[in-house]
Copies of this chain bind each other. A is one copy, B any other.
């Protein structure tokens, strides 16, 4: 059976979404997440249009991808330029990826009116650009921009542009519904036509402007497309690109075709959430398959029926996609997932142990307060340890105080913090300056604790994210996520408070305690 290949464009087309801006470190983390999900091709940036993307492609050479191919994206050469002299194609080569994606114009109107090229010149631009990349040792995926709109305007010419790409040596001809306005029947029919005509794998690239990106992607697959392009969480310009976290489960479960793997499917919820978290975009919890509400039952009759048999109101089993069933009215839910994690700390615990009930209760309470543990493995483990008695605090806070001031002569030291801690009866007070109160507090706390726990020096803060939970004024609760790392790994912790400094403090303390526990665990393992 034919396998459907997945190309994720979160870092390229997804980055065109309003409010999305990835740092180089963010991009590397997205690549790691997608590679872990075994996405076939990761389209990671457009080095010619965005100088930050060039830095990224330089950085990523140090990262060994296990499962995915990396691709850079760029346009066909300029009109009147030789392909080998074109600065855009040169940038694309300099990204040094084995695969490149080249887009060109299929709509006569775009070729003439937007590029100002003649129709014949546009065909040459497509063919020569691809041929040049092939000759430079690249595998080339060709994106036929506006293919469906172009076909409606001038069918013969639209097909000639695709023929030019085939002649140039493209390994896949991707039909793009760039404006997101096409209907599934047309998409299926034209996909069939291109599949029949060229004997080269065909792909689909859909946008969601009519709410049909998923349907159009499936229609293309039904018409014979073998590659689906989209973004894992549906990010993208305007209404977004085709949402892969919906499409992949649909292809595997509904169409029964090979696509990624069973393991990838089971990891799709956590991976999608991770990508949204890195982008610092609040997650649409109503998203099919991966949203928190995707299997949440509220109506009383529905809950009763689902308890009798889940198939009554669920189209697929939630664990298939790594998600959980939730009952909103009754207070049951998610216990098996929690149990799984608790057993890693204490294998002796069973489903009915009181500490399991305690943890479930505590989690619900904290989620009501605005906590979310999906991205905060470190804090979740600490919470479980506290509830199962496998925890002893490393220090006591006496008090802290932060002072921020403007204007100041030295901006890097506009805030000061003072922290007093106690470790086994011994007090330590320390102070530090920083370029903000959280920074100053972090530095002061480490300084106070390093006297007792010198290995704290080997950990560093990798990322710090803030999200306001309830809209409304500056007094809303704030959730702070802190990612820390040492030579052995990375972990994330979370804190919630209406006071951003206190929220940061909670996450900071968790991050240090988690580090100290892991160090002890590792040392212990050397003796057993």
Contacts and interface: CB of A to CB of B under 8 A. Distances in A.
B210 A315 contact: yes
A472 B466 contact: no
Interface string A454-470: 00000011111111111
A182 to B, nearest CB: 8
Interface string A474-496: 11101000100000000000000
Contacts of A372: 19, 21
B238 A404 contact: no
Nearest to A476: B464
B328 A478 contact: no
A284 to B, nearest CB: 6
A469 B20 CA distance: 11
A405 interface: yes
A429 interface: no
Contacts of A460: 473
Interface in A196-238: 208-212, 214-215, 218-219, 222, 234, 237-238
A43 to B, nearest CB: 15
Given A113-B308, A240-B286, A500 B294 contact: no
Given A114-B305, A239-B287, A405-B401, A298 B16 contact: yes
B400 A406 contact: yes
Interface stretch (A58-66, A342-350, A435-443): A435-443
Most chain B Cβ neighbours within 10 Å, of A328, A372, A465:
A465
Contacts of A470: 23, 25
A374 interface: yes
Given A17-B298, A463-B472, A469-B23, A243 B209 contact: no
A523 to B, nearest CB: 27
Given A305-B114, A499-B404, A238 B297 contact: yes
A309 to B, nearest CB: 6
B474 A461 contact: yes
A300 to B, nearest CB: 7
Nearest to A242: B211
A212 B19 CA distance: 26
Interface string A492-528: 0000011111101100000000000000000000000
A49 B293 contact: no
Contacts of A237: 296-299, 302
A407 interface: yes
Contacts of A208: 286, 288
Interface stretch (A78-86, A173-181, A260-268, A351-359): A173-181
Given A183-B218, A403-B403, 17 more contacts: A23-B470, A26-B471, A49-B300, A114-B312, A209-B315, A210-B214, A239-B286, A239-B287, A239-B293, A240-B286, A402-B437, A404-B499, A404-B501, A439-B473, A462-B472, A464-B474, A500-B500
